[in-house]
Structure 1
Amino acid sequence: MNILLVKLSSLGDVVHALPVVQDIRAAWPEARIDWVVEKSFAPLLARCPGLNRVIACEIRRWRKSPLAAVTRQQWNAFKADLRQTPYDAVIDLQGLTKSALVARLARLSPHGKRYALANQTDGSGYEAPTRWVADVAIRVEARTPAVQRSRELAAQALGHSFAPLPDFGLNRPLAQAGRAQPAIESIANARCVVFVHGTSRADKEWPLDYWIALGRRFNAAGWQVALAHGNAKELATSQAMAQALNLQSPEAAIVWPLLPLDALTDALARCGGVIGVDSGVSHIAVALDLPHVQLYNFDTAWRTGPASAGRQVSVFGQPAPSVEAVWQAWLGCLAAPVSEAAHAIQTPGAT
């Protein structure tokens, strides 16, 4: 059986859909699963076991200059790549016009069908063309968390059940010999806790002085703070945090270099845990099953926050969670038992 998954963006949404691959592999071991995704997120999928092919597109960029010769050339190449395989099931996990277009362009086998959402769920984007294109539109309960929504859609489309806890699959490739890069080893280790402060929305940010106060608590407990960034603004924030923390000790904080997505994932996986706002990188920490506290200024953690209790928790507060609440949540994460899927993590004496 040939199956095509369509989930183009954004990073957090792609991460939330990852368990679908492992669900399908468990139910249909012989299935060949392809996935269409924006090119910038393809490196993440490349480390997901069970995928046969990652088909990259750049729809976000192509829409900015649709009539340019290079756009037409790349669009035609993408369509040819997409239509290499006839699919028995094309599953639109996104529910937007752009994903519906991709699903429509895909080639079906003689008895193949296209599946998509029939309705919007609370807090998610949804556009009507997704159900117009589908041969089968599947209804999901309105108040369904993002990870569960994708899993339910695929399960109803293919007729399988799935395990209660999601398996994102990202931790498995780390066991391959020689995967870790020397540069990653020099900046990431089990004594680091990563602060993921960057987000595309300013109203999701946590105050800078809160980050610094939290960092000092980690430093006092024997942790080094690692600071990730994805653009110039985030780099400036990371540098400001490091400057404040390193006043007390020159190795209290380290600013990571700008890392490509696959290297960033490897670096996160080597660390002792993550504190992060609601962002794609923070959701990768969840997928890696790291000790993790996710910060919410809005009561939306039910939809995008970590589903597991114990090692991974969300903390909600208005106008923002307090430093004390985040610290106590972190201590709770460390005290929680390690799941079978988790890495063996050597943590410093942080309790």
Structure 2
Amino acid sequence: MLIIKLSSLGDVVHAMPAVMDIQAAFPNAQIDWVVERDFAPLAARCAAVQRVIACDLRRWRKSFFKTDTHLSTCAEWRAFKVEVQKEAYDVILDLQGLTKSALVVWLTRKTKGGKRYALANRTDGSAYERPTRWVADVAVPITPHIHAVARGRVMCAKALGYDVSAHLNYGLGLAGAQRKPLVALVHGTSREDKEWPLAHWFDIGARLKKMGLDVALPHGNEAEHLRSTALAEMLPGGVVWPRLSLDQLTTEMAQCTGVIGVDSGLSHIAVALDLPHVQIYNFDTAWRTGPQDSARQRSVVDCPTPTVDGVWDAWLACFKSQSGPS
């Protein structure tokens, strides 16, 4: 079987339970995954995945018409095409629902009797483009108002004829790793309207210190590094992590006592790692992408932004639950 879920980081995380469901229903199936190269290390960590096929569609699209990169881009595209066509698949599942994923599906090879599956319709809050249906043999209808994790799980279950399990498994083997007295503060996000005020992060960090917990401060660009450094200077004992790869970040986060973060890919990884976690939303999209385990992991939603007390109360509830069943 071949999974097509290219990006973004949060979407890749949200697809993992569907992949684990397939393995549970078909234990002997080989499951391969096509994904953007930046997210390939995370897809490779999913226990159900045998082979990860990395692509660079984002970069190729930008560089294809540039004179100085055209030839190298064409060569990389041809190499990717060879890689994705090495195997003929009985089942090809487009979990992305976009033109770029439809292009990858179009390249794939089917076995005799094999089928390509795609979403039949758009779901609330998610992008959807019609070419995904044009290249599919079977278009799977999905109820429009559905969580991002459930969307992939339901589509795969309908396509392959099994029931969605009540058990949610992301397949990350680092879940349950030895924990350090650190709470990662995921303050970075690619969207300014998802940010939480610096003063609020300081207040949360100070409260964590009083609990005997230090803070770990990840960052992915220079602006986030400056913010992490400023927080560490205000919070003695705060640890500014070096710039880490996605693989390294996942390993480091797995060893934290918990995570408090804005709606971002790293926060979704915290969910997949089954860490006590609070996810901060400035507008109500938590129903679609937020944590589903209301005991260990909670969303806090408010406009223009959640209060420190609201986030803190949610953290205390999640932290206290960690000694109970997960």
Task: List aligned pairs for 1:162-311, cutoff 5 A.
Answer: 162-172=164-174, 189-246=179-236, 251=237, 253-311=238-296
Aligned-pair CA distance for 1:48: 1.2
Give matches, 1:1-351, under 5 Å. 3-67=1-65, 68-172=70-174, 189-246=179-236, 251=237, 253-336=238-321
Partners of 1:128 and 1:339 lie apart in 2 by 45
Counterparts in 2 of 1:339 and 1:272: CA distance versus 1, 3 Å: same
Q: TM-score, normalised by structure 1?
A: 0.89
Give the match's secondary structure for 1:262.
helix
C-alpha change, 1:271 and 1:149, in structure 2 (3 Å) is same
Q: Which amino acid aligns with 2:216?
A: A
TM superposition shift of 1:171: 3.1
Q: Which moved more, 1:6-15 or 1:232-241?
A: 232-241
Contact 1:20 1:154 in 2 (8 A): yes
Contact 2:297-2:318 at 8 Å conserved across structures: yes
Q: Which whole-Å CA distance do the structure 2 matches of 1:122 and 1:19 have between them?
A: 20
Aligned mates of 2:255, 2:174 — CA distance in 1 = 13
Partner SS, residue 286 of structure 1: helix
Q: Is the 8 A contact 1:49 1:172 kept in 2?
A: no
Show CA shifts across 1:88-147 (max 9, x none): 111000000000110110100010111000111000010010111111001101100000
Structure 1 alignment gaps of length 5 or more: 176-187, 343-351
Residue 255 and residue 337 in structure 1: after superposition, are their counterparts in 2 closer, same or farther (change >3 A)? closer
Is the contact made by 1:6 and 1:90 (CA closer than 8 Å) also made in structure 2?
Answer: yes
AA at the equivalent of 2:47: P
What SS is found at the alignment partner of 2:62? coil
Aligned CA RMSD, in angstroms, stands at 1.4
Q: What is the alpha-carbon distance in structure 2 between the residues aligned to residue 243 and residue 116 of structure 1?
A: 49
For residues 167 and 198 of structure 2, the distance between their equivalents in structure 1, rounded to whole angstroms, comes to 34
Q: CA deviation at 1:18?
A: 0.4
Give the C-alpha shift of residue 173 in structure 1: 7.9
- Of 307-316 and 164-173, more deviation after overlay is shown by 164-173
Give the length in aligned residue pairs.
322
> Structure 2-normalised TM-score?
0.96
Ranges in structure 2 where 5+ consecutive residues have no aligned partner? none
Q: Distance in 1 between the 2:297 and 2:51 partners? A: 31
2:99–2:131 CA contact under 8 A, matched in 1: yes
Distance 1:79 1:339, change over 3 A: farther
